[in-house]
Structure 1
Amino acid sequence: MPRFPKPAEGSWTEHYPHLGTGPVSYEDSVDPEFYEIERKAVFQRAWLNVGRVEQLPRKGSYFTKEMKVVNTSIIVVRTRDGEVKAYHNICRHRGNKLVWNDMPLEETSGVCRQFTCKYHAWRYDLDGNLTFVQQEGEFFDLDKSRYGLVPVHCEVWEGFIFVNFAKGDPEQSLRDFLGPMITDLEGYPFDKMTSRFHYRSEVKANWKLYMDAFQEFYHAPVLHANQSPTAYSKAAAEAGFEAPHYRIEGPHRLVSTSGIRAWEMADEMRKPIEDICQSGLFGPWDKPDLGEMPKGLNPAKCEPWGLDSFQLFPNFVILFWGQGWYLTYHYWPTSVNTHLFEGTVYFPQPRTPRERIAQELAAVSFKEYGLQDANTLEATQSMVESRVLDDFVLCDQEVLIRHLHNETAAWVEDYRSKTAGV
């Protein structure tokens, strides 16, 4: 799709006529039958981010990921050759989960030379080959070369590890799936952002409804009023805050907006903790020198630039902050009306205790924002399920919400057409 500047008159939505302007149904967020098809049509066909290479710092490093939306658990490992591979976390002997610690349903990580099943001690090397069978002579014509771990398609882009659960070859390579809007982010210093804060929460809402909350800023001056200076929130609400740039390309979306230099605000508009920690909503005040930024950032050329939120279909968000850090969001469905939300905040390694405290304040601030959004979305889910209303009106700022639900429906319809009669 072309890049459109915000016109002096008109709207963003008019540039994407296939999305329409009428009310939008949220039946896709409450219908159990749709959810079951969505799992196969979307999550077993799209590329899904499961982590970063920093989680695999050396040969033999591994982590597991519970993937309830596709009814499996996977092992992601760095092999002896340094390659990143992924396998279904299942032993070929009797189907036991291969890698787990005290609690079989919890994720784990570590370093090993091989994977050994807890049940009968079958062993597999880091490339997934079956290397040892306890009492091998008791089996009938066992060819170990046929019983390696079941692989999962795995590719890495800019340090982000993606998997794809297609039974055959994926319909697109990872790079083709990402497209130019995302690959234009290449060159961002992700590898320098190794100060990491992670949190997760079980949310009683459909995954798409929570993604919707981060695709517009129409709600920010209202829902998050207590997180910003009262005078600022009131002024923003009255003025009608709107992001200056939206973009849709293929299945992915972008919203970009200007920012606030907190230290330039009047003293009464700042919180005391922000002055003490030299940090706040937009992160630490001291911006690190990260070099030249990639061409894909700040497409509206905002000054000051606040953030770019890239929504990668289906369930992954990379959010870049103008102050020199980024965060990611994941929304992992666990049922039609529940999902696991994960937020991870990335900064450069702090050089002083003050820098560490500034990072922690920013990380805690965004945890609070996430809790506020989750609380609201649980209320939304409960009432959408009442089906008192069949559809809901959206404003121009909510064009990305239209796109997410439209794109999901398109993937489902494509899956139905390809599997009809199969």
Structure 2
Amino acid sequence: MTARGRGCQVRKWPKPSEGSWTEHYPELGTGPVSFRDSISPEFYELEREAVFKRAWLNVARVEELPRTGSYLTKEIEVAKSSVIVVKDRDGRIRAFHNICRHRGNKLVWNDFPNDETRGTCRQFTCKYHGWRYGLTGELNFVQQPGEFFDLDRSEYGLAPVACDVWNGFVFINFDPEPRQNLREFLGPMITALDDYPFELMTERYDFVAHNDSNWKVFADAFQEYYHVPSLHSQQIPTEVRQPDATFECGHFQIDGPHRLVSTAGTRRWLLAPEFMYPVERATRSGLVGPWRTPETHQSEGLNPGGIEPWGITNFQIFPNLEILIYHGWYLLYRYWPTSHNTHRFEAYNAFHPAATVRERVEHEVASVVLKEFALQDAGMLGGTQAALEYDVVDEYPLNDQEILVRHLHKVSVDWVEDYRREHEAVKV
């Protein structure tokens, strides 16, 4: 299987009585791995071109663009770009580079040009010289057109960015001619969630953190639960914290550049007071969400390993998106690189809208406790990045529970190597 290639069927393998998850995917190997891709400025510059300017990137949900003329801007430092995402009069969601075609002024911004913004408008007007653009990007108005030399307005519309929607998630692609459409890129493991009702979960709690680590270093923290007994000892049962206790995931799966990890779980695990915050007992909500949630449609792709009792499935869409689906709600992560050793971490929880004050409190408590959990992971990032950058060790052993860590770094390197070979072939 290549970095981009995939068969027609997704491989679904239970872990055998002998052998391992990693051995199901021999292309990954089982030897030590290098994390040089997380510390090299040169690799980062190639990764910007090979990955983030070629892959489909999630930038929004359709609920963020509820009516004609609804727009938002997205600052994507890794692509050195700002993008306008807008719903046109036909209900289609489009994306454009946030640049006026006259003198290159940033077109849509409020008080500070590097801050993201959103709103509703009939057209976009440049603050500098008043050029106006329609919701489909066409140039509608030029101040004093007679002052220009043979200006053809049809040639100066906004520069488009490829844009498509899957199950309410808005994606863009900076490649002028994407090699795969969005659905092909996502593949069968992800599109098995076609019928999952994300649109019902519209009550959101967002947070953003700026981290001193490579984006993959943080993504690695959510790809394995081998670290849980050590790092999250307050949130797990006593028996799991014992020396040599086993804490394993129920199912790992890989499809092309994307990954999946699914775990067993039940809220009953959190009823013991010794590993629960008092507010969790009082509100009956916490780490795995509210203890009572609406019955949500069980999509075919939600629990591909057939785990019982099923708890969480984390769908990791290459390069920088994770969607963690729980019972009746979901959690979304995005990792946006800002340099070779820094990134912006965006996250939100999405619930069915609260019908009572108590339900709203349950949602808020779950969001706070989950944020605390994520901050425990984030607290490791600076130390990991600093030690990797000492560049003393270049071979790190990974166990079977870290198969997805192995896969992410291999895919990133593969995409960069593909890009490098293509450009060398062009030079020849």
Q: 1:228 to 1:264 in 2, by over 3 A?
A: closer
Q: Does the 8 A contact of 1:222 with 1:233 survive in 2? A: no
Q: 1:264 to 1:85 in 2, by over 3 A?
A: closer
Pairwise CA distance, 1:362: 0.9
* 5+ residue gaps, structure 1: none
Whichever residue aligns with residue 298 of structure 2, its letter is M
Q: Does the 8 A contact of 2:223 with 2:402 survive in 1? A: yes
Aligned to 1:240: 246
Aligned to 1:18: 27
Among 400, 415, 418, which residue is 2:419 paired with?
415
Q: Does the 8 A contact of 1:332 with 1:340 survive in 2? A: yes
Q: Does the 8 A contact of 2:58 with 2:169 survive in 1? A: yes
1:201-248 CA-to-partner distances (Å, cap 9, x unmatched) read 11000011111110000011211112345x25525x642200010001
Given the two structures, how large is their TM-score scaled by the length of structure 2?
0.95
Task: Find out whether 1:222 has 2:227 as its counterpart.
Answer: no
SS of match in other structure, 2:285 = coil
Q: Does the 8 A contact of 1:43 with 1:70 survive in 2? A: yes
CA distance in 2, matches of 1:66, 1:160: 17
Pairwise CA distance, 1:287: 2.2
Q: Does the 8 A contact of 2:240 with 2:247 survive in 1? A: no
Pairwise CA distance, 1:156: 0.3
Q: Does the 8 A contact of 2:235 with 2:275 survive in 1? A: no
Q: Does the 8 A contact of 1:261 with 1:304 survive in 2? A: no
Task: Find out whether 1:261 has 2:280 as its counterpart.
Answer: no
CA distance in 1, matches of 2:270, 2:131: 63
Aligned CA RMSD, in angstroms, stands at 1.3
Whichever residue aligns with residue 243 of structure 1, its letter is C
CA distance in 1, matches of 2:52, 2:145: 38
Aligned to 2:369: 365
Q: Does the 8 A contact of 1:91 with 1:117 survive in 2? A: yes
Among 277, 299, 323, which residue is 2:304 paired with?
299
Q: 1:232 to 1:133 in 2, by over 3 A?
A: farther
Aligned to 2:62: 53
Task: Find out whether 1:210 has 2:214 as its counterpart.
Answer: no
Pairwise CA distance, 1:298: 1.2
Aligned to 1:176: 184
CA distance in 1, matches of 2:365, 2:395: 39
Whichever residue aligns with residue 170 of structure 1, its letter is P
1:368-392 CA-to-partner distances (Å, cap 9, x unmatched) read 1221111101110000000111121
CA distance in 1, matches of 2:274, 2:164: 49
CA distance in 1, matches of 2:158, 2:224: 43
Among 320, 339, 351, which residue is 2:343 paired with?
339
Aligned to 2:3: none
Moved over 3 A (4+): 262-271
CA distance in 1, matches of 2:118, 2:295: 33
Q: 1:383 to 1:166 in 2, by over 3 A?
A: same
Aligned to 1:140: 149
Aligned to 1:128: 137
Q: Which moved more, 1:255-264 or 1:49-58?
A: 255-264
Q: Which moved more, 1:300-309 or 1:266-275?
A: 266-275
Whichever residue aligns with residue 12 of structure 2, its letter is R
Aligned to 1:284: 290
Pairwise CA distance, 1:312: 0.4
Q: Does the 8 A contact of 2:226 with 2:248 survive in 1? A: yes
Whichever residue aligns with residue 183 of structure 1, its letter is T
Pairwise CA distance, 1:293: 1.3
Among 114, 117, 129, which residue is 1:108 paired with?
117
Whichever residue aligns with residue 397 of structure 1, its letter is Q
SS of match in other structure, 1:318 = strand
SS of match in other structure, 1:92 = coil
Whichever residue aligns with residue 215 of structure 2, its letter is W
Q: Which moved more, 1:368-377 or 1:256-265?
A: 256-265
Aligned to 2:256: 250
* 5+ residue gaps, structure 2: 1-9
Aligned to 1:386: 390
Among 147, 155, 159, which residue is 1:150 paired with?
159
Task: Find out whether 1:403 has 2:407 as its counterpart.
Answer: yes
Whichever residue aligns with residue 219 of structure 1, its letter is H
Given the two structures, how large is their TM-score scaled by the length of structure 1?
0.96
Among 28, 32, 37, which residue is 2:46 paired with?
37
Pairwise CA distance, 1:302: 2.1
1:63-103 CA-to-partner distances (Å, cap 9, x unmatched) read 00001101110000000111000000000000000000001
Aligned residues: 417
Pairwise CA distance, 1:153: 0.1
SS of match in other structure, 2:241 = helix
SS of match in other structure, 1:186 = coil
Task: Find out whether 1:274 has 2:280 as its counterpart.
Answer: yes
SS of match in other structure, 2:304 = coil
Percent identity over paired residues: 58
Whichever residue aligns with residue 297 of structure 1, its letter is L
Pairwise CA distance, 1:272: 2.5
Whichever residue aligns with residue 101 of structure 2, its letter is R
Aligned to 2:322: 317
CA distance in 2, matches of 1:226, 1:33: 40
Pairwise CA distance, 1:267: 4.8
